[in-house]
Amino acid sequence: MKSIVTLSIAVALCAAAHTVRADEIQVAVAANFTAPMKAIAAAFKKDTGHQVQAAYGATGKFYAQIKNGAPFEALLSADDATPIKLLEEGAAVAGTAFTYAVGTLVLWSAKPGFVDAKGDVLGKGDFRKLAIANPKVAPYGAAAVQTLTKLDLLEKVEPKFVTGENIAQTFQFVGTGNAELGFVALSQVMENGKITKGSAWVVPGEFYTPIRQDAVMLEKGKDKPAVIALLAYLKGEQARAIIRAFGYEI
């Protein structure tokens, strides 16, 4: 009986200690990584007790906010250049940057059967509007321009551009029908390894520069155990399985 009581006390103490150690993390996350990050944050909370407070948006805007003192403790960027820049400027912690995912570009329409398996719809021009993310600040937008240049179609379709502030807004343009098709992130239309809505052409990787998405610890998160734990979790197999399920490469 005594041993059972002792065990019960020990379990209760462990649970209490776990609650005390649980922390909240402020993380800036690239818009294209919204769906997988929500799944990862839920799994991370279940496994560690730590709560991820994530803001989703354009990496370029996050950079400006971080430089102006935003309380973010980690950045999951849409590119690999922004974390390097923050490291060079002393706003991020040396030795903490790593590629957490490699993005895939897809030409997508909310209409089933509208986009063919080879993307020939682009050359036919049977559409009024083509949505892309701003190529000056969004890696997926830059990849879209590279793809159209590779296909020798940029001058032909550029007048039909509808430009999103980020990849989330670009996806919204296509999803609402304001553009018949657009270049978005595969993660936005894929779940459990399958494209779940509309029609799509997965753009061959050789058409654009690899979209390497890097994570980095920011100075405000330096030495914070929960931030260290999250970055380590992103490298673990559970998070990697989620990332792959949304169409990213590792």
CA–CA separation, 233 vs 218, rounded Å? Answer: 17
CA–CA separation, 100 vs 237, rounded Å? Answer: 12
Angle at 179 between CA 176 and CA 181, to 5 degrees: 105
CA–CA separation, 36 vs 165, rounded Å? Answer: 21
The domain ranges of the chain are: 2-102+212-245, 105-202
Q: Do domains 2-102+212-245 and 105-202 have the same CATH topology?
A: yes
Question: What's residue 193's pLDDT?
Answer: 79
CA–CA separation, 30 vs 16, rounded Å? Answer: 34
Q: What is the mean pLDDT of the chain?
A: 90
Residues 170-200 pLDDT 10s = 999 999 999 999 999 998 998 777 888 899 9
CA–CA separation, 224 vs 210, rounded Å? Answer: 31
Residues 9-46 pLDDT 10s = 343 434 434 444 789 999 999 989 999 999 999 999 99
Averaged over 88-94, what is the pLDDT? 98
At 47, list the tokens.
Answer: 């496994």
CA–CA separation, 99 vs 26, rounded Å? Answer: 19
Which are the contacts of 89, defined by CB distance < 8 A and separation ≥ 6?
67
- Find, among 123, 127, 163, 125, the residue nearest to 144 by Cα: 163
Averaged over 113-133, what is the pLDDT? 95
Burial 53-67 (b: 16+ CB within 10 A, else e): ebebbbbbbbbeebe
Q: Which CATH number fits domain 105-202: 3.30.930.10, 3.40.190.10, 3.30.750.210, 3.40.50.300?
A: 3.40.190.10
Give the helix ranges, DSSP H, for the chain: 2-21, 34-48, 59-67, 81-88, 121-124, 139-150, 154-157, 167-175, 225-234, 237-245
Query: What φ, ψ does residue 249 adopt, rounded to 5°?
Result: -95, 160
* pLDDT-based confidence at residue 120 (cuts at 50, 70, 90): very high
> Are 212 and 102 a contacting pair, CB within 8 Å?
yes
Averaged over 64-93, what is the pLDDT? 97
Which are the contacts of 151, defined by CB distance < 8 A and separation ≥ 6?
119, 122, 123, 207
Parallel, antiparallel, or unpaired for β 24-30 and 190-191? Answer: unpaired
CA–CA separation, 107 vs 187, rounded Å? Answer: 12
At 97, list the tokens.
Answer: 């940057």
**What fold does the segment set 2-102+212-245 form as a domain?**
D-Maltodextrin-Binding Protein; domain 2 (3.40.190)
Residue 158 has pLDDT above 80, yes or no: yes
Question: What's residue 58's pLDDT?
Answer: 86
* pLDDT-based confidence at residue 6 (cuts at 50, 70, 90): very low
* pLDDT-based confidence at residue 206 (cuts at 50, 70, 90): very high
By percentage, how much of the chain surpasses pLDDT 90?
80
